[in-house]
Amino acid sequence: MFQRRRTRWPRGTRARRPGRRRHWRHQSRIDHHDTETHGDTETHGDTETHGDTETHEDTETHEDTETHEEVGSVATLTPDRSELLHELGLDRQNVGMLGRLLATGNIGRAEEGPDGRMSAEIHIVPDQLVWDPQILVLPHGGDLDIEFVNDDQNTHCALVPSNGDSQWMWLPNYSRGTMHVTLDGPGQYWFSSNIGNDEGRGLIGAIVVMGDVPASARLDRPPQPRP
Amino acid sequence: MTAIEYRQAPPPVDFGSLTTATGTAPPVAQGVTYERILDARSEPQNWLTYYGAYDGQRYSPLDQIDTQNVQRTTLAWVFSFSPQGLHAGQSTYAFENSPIVVDGVMYVSGWDGWVWALDAKTGQLLWQYKHAIPFDTSLCCGNVNRGVAVAHGKVFVCTLNAHVLALDATTGACLWDVTSGDVRAGESLTVAPLVVKDRVVVGSSGGEFGVRGHLDAYDVETGERVWRCYTIPKPGEPGSETWPAEGEAWTRGGGNCWITGTFDPDTNLLYWGTGNPAPDFDGEVRPGDNLHTDSVIAVDADTGEIRWHYQCTPHDLWDYDSNMECILFEQDGRKLLAHFDKNGYCFVLDRTNGERVRIFPFVDRITWGEITPDGQVTARIYPDEEGVEVHFYPGPAGAKEWTHAAYSQKTGLFYVPVQDTGARVARRRREFKESIPYWGAAVTVDAEDMAGSISAFNASGEEVWRWRNDLPMCASVLATAGDLVFAGTPSGKFVALDARSGELLWQFNCGSGHHSSPCTYSVDGKQYIAVPVGWGAWVEGFLPGMMGGPHGQAMFVFSLPEGQDSSGGR
């Protein structure tokens, strides 16, 4: 059973991001990028995501989002989670808490090229100390090119796990640069800006690798139940 | 509004390039062959394989540091490391490593996918490798790795997300990477690989998540899997009669091989311990002996077939893995092995055929049941009725956990790290679901009324001496020809005992508890003792009274003071 809810973002509530190219699509939106934004959209409680959100680059952004939530599912988010986060000021800097709650940022998907190589663009939102998207989803393990863009007026950096060695780069104010990483799948990998307390304030993000291990690595047994 | 001009950020770099690492190690590993590992004890300056030699004795012929001068031993260098950012098991990581040393280069693995090459004389970091480990990997017992294997110019290491890697020993670059297990099923790898002939042998972890344990051999050059040995038989295979004929208990049976085995080239057999059955404490869903869980299995090194087995705890209801080492030794012309089990008994077996030679207890309190000298097992206290709590000794971490005993060829004694701790367990049945812990019980381990010791036994099972510690001893032991026994305590002390009397001769406070395997080596004729220090892992299982103990993350290396060179680091 699903409860449906439509959310319309007010016109002009999202700031234009200079020089932005979008390599990912919002899957759902569970935070606000600025304090003027209200009417947040919702997350979903199962893996059957519906309600993609399409964004545009200008101030005339219309973001119709239709999301679903499975009622009664264990450990799902409550329907009013986003509103409550916002009401309590946990989804932006220095309102309810000092920073912002981790993993309350946007979710995006990496794009996959014909050769399987993936790419994504991740921004740092001005004065919000949050990656956008903060949760980047890859369809499988492999090679990923991330273009980081620092839209903030302070210097940060990016430390991203990668097989062989973590990759690290400076992200001075208003700068952009591309990093290549390699990740096995599946699982969740944290990345961050590891200076000052950027991490505690919110600049911790997750790269989520979907998929399964190769058939050769699976156990010789019948399919088993999962949670 | 003025458009903002964006600038190009400085290019990304390997994070390891922002350290003092030189980037390369001398090509000493190129010459490490199977033949050299076979004869490892003939080059005592090195610690070529996990136990120092294939026989698992953890004994070194080095004797520069001895009972007369060990009091002058001082710190030569420290390699300290701490992670950046979030990593899996942030509260449970531990430094469980056993260093490998080849001609002045030390190869070390840490928690969370770290591998380092160090100058064994100065502590200088030469190179580092980092495998990206998922934060959400299923880990029963902490973010740990027990070591690497080195041969053919390569460093072999397992990762927590169940990959096996071969790294270039001079640069740390990855040469091949194979997926060995299924993280979605709850599998991981924590074992130190063992190179035998042209294969690298690894065993899986994940028994607490109801996987089907296996041992695998990979080609050292290509990473191709040569054989896989499942420890839990499928229906119709030998041993399947010890599992329910109906149902899927065998598919979740556990029996993982998460500790390195030993090897005898004469029998061509690998002697590997297997882990607990799953669910750990709820035996009613798996009636039968549950082979080959809690067993010593003798595996043909060429084919992966199980030639014989000896089960130490049939139908385990106490989480008594038998993973710990099988020490190979000879007595009265017989080729034997000694295995100190979690269940509190030592099993001495004829390693040619698995015949029982001797069984003796090595801890004071054993209440779960009894094993007679002729091998008869009688269970007395065990979780049976749903929700009814029972208390037994040893607790699920065992009278000795995975940490290793040592055997001195000079004294003929075994030196055993003993844990004397009980636990309360109530059976709580649960459904099996992949990747979710599958214990079948509520468990709390005692945080008081516990004890520990390094206990010395002769091959006949007689206790010769005991060095007592207030806390259980949870780290491996090292024996040397200097008539010394080295061991670390949970409180952080690293001690040297007289191998013949157990007298405490020297100690050093390392600042964090020990849960690793020390080794010894020499460079330019100078002997060193190395011990990884970093308290953590399954502390709630083996010593909850030290759950609040400080995590550490450093390699401590000791030597006599003359000629020390601590110039590592820039």
Q: Is residue A220 part of a domain?
A: no
- Cβ pair A148:B9 closer than 8 A: yes
Q: Is the pLDDT of residue A203 over 60?
A: yes
Tokens of B253: 């049976």
- Check residue A64 and give its pLDDT: 36
- Cβ pair A174:B136 closer than 8 A: no
- Cβ pair B12:A179 closer than 8 A: yes
Q: Does A179 touch chain B (CB under 8 A)?
A: yes
Residue among B43, B52, B40 at smallest CA distance from B522 = B43
DSSP labels for B70-131? GGG-EEEEEEE----S--TTTTT-------EEETTEEEEE-STTEEEEEETTT--EEEEEE-
Q: Is residue A127 part of a domain?
A: yes
Q: Is the pLDDT of residue B92 over 80?
A: yes
Q: Does A67 touch chain B (CB under 8 A)?
A: no
- Cβ pair B3:A18 closer than 8 A: yes
Among residues B282, B294, B316, B319, the one annotated as catalytic is B319
**Count of domains observed in chain A:** 1
pLDDT band at B570 (very low <50, low <70, confident <90, very high): low
DSSP bridge pairs for A205: A191
Q: B510-535 pLDDT, tens per residue?
A: 999 999 999 999 999 999 999 999 99
Measured between alpha carbons, how far is B180 from B197 in angstroms, rounded to an integer?
A: 20
- CB contacts of A190 in chain B (<8 Å) are 85-87, 135
The shortest CB-CB distance from A174 to any of B7, B130, B230 is to B7
Q: Does A220 touch chain B (CB under 8 A)?
A: yes
pLDDT average, residue stretch A3-11:
31
- Enumerate residues 3 to 62 of chain A having a beta carbon within 8 A of any beta carbon in chain B: 18-19
CATH number at residue A156: 2.60.40.420
Tokens of A158: 């990016």
pLDDT average, residue stretch B212-236:
98
Q: Is residue A224 part of a domain?
A: no
The Cα of B440 is separated from the nearest Cα of chain A by a number of Å equal to: 16
Q: Is residue A112 part of a domain?
A: yes
Q: Is residue A171 part of a domain?
A: yes
Look up the ipTM and state it.
0.95
Measured between alpha carbons, how far is A214 from A138 in angstroms, rounded to an integer?
A: 16
Q: Is the pLDDT of residue A17 over 90?
A: no
Residue B208's φ and ψ, nearest 5 degrees, are -75, -10
Tokens of B216: 């695998």
Q: Is the pLDDT of residue A12 over 50?
A: no
Q: Is the pLDDT of residue B465 over 70?
A: yes
The shortest CB-CB distance from B9 to any of A162, A175, A218 is to A175
- CB contacts of B252 in chain A (<8 Å) are 221, 224
Q: Is residue A215 part of a domain?
A: no
Structural domain harbouring A86: 2-209
The shortest CB-CB distance from A165 to any of B14, B433, B436 is to B14
Q: B258-311 pLDDT, tens per residue?
A: 999 999 999 999 999 999 999 999 999 999 999 999 999 999 999 999 999 999
DSSP bridge pairs for B390: B425
- CB contacts of B10 in chain A (<8 Å) are 169-170, 172, 177
How many helices (H) and strands (E) chain A has is answered by: 2, 13
Q: Is residue A167 part of a domain?
A: yes
- Cβ pair B15:A184 closer than 8 A: no
- CB contacts of B14 in chain A (<8 Å) are 164-168
The verdict on whether B319 is a catalytic residue reads: yes
Q: In CATH, which superfamily holds the domain spanning B15-559? A: Quinoprotein alcohol dehydrogenase-like superfamily (2.140.10.10)
Q: B50-67 pLDDT, tens per residue?
A: 999 999 999 999 999 999
Q: Is the pLDDT of residue A75 over 70?
A: no
Long-range CB contact pairs, A73-81, < 8 A, 24+: A73/A45, A73/A46, A76/A44, A76/A45, A76/A46, A77/A30, A77/A42, A77/A43, A77/A44, A77/A45, A79/A3, A79/A5, A79/A42, A81/A30, A81/A42, A81/A43
Q: Is the pLDDT of residue B115 over 60?
A: yes
Q: Does B134 touch chain A (CB under 8 A)?
A: yes
Q: Judge if the upstream peptide bond of residue A133 is cis by omega within 30 degrees of 0.
A: yes
Q: A98-155 pLDDT, tens per residue?
A: 999 988 899 999 999 999 999 999 999 999 999 999 999 999 999 999 999 999 999 9
The shortest CB-CB distance from B182 to any of A163, A194, A218 is to A218
Conformation bin of residue B6: beta by default, left when phi > 0, alpha when psi is -120 to 50? beta
Instruction: Enter the pTM of the model.
Output: 0.91
Q: How many CB pairs under 8 A join A and B?
A: 174
The Cα of B155 is separated from the nearest Cα of chain A by a number of Å equal to: 13
Question: A146 with A161: CB under 8 angstroms?
Answer: no
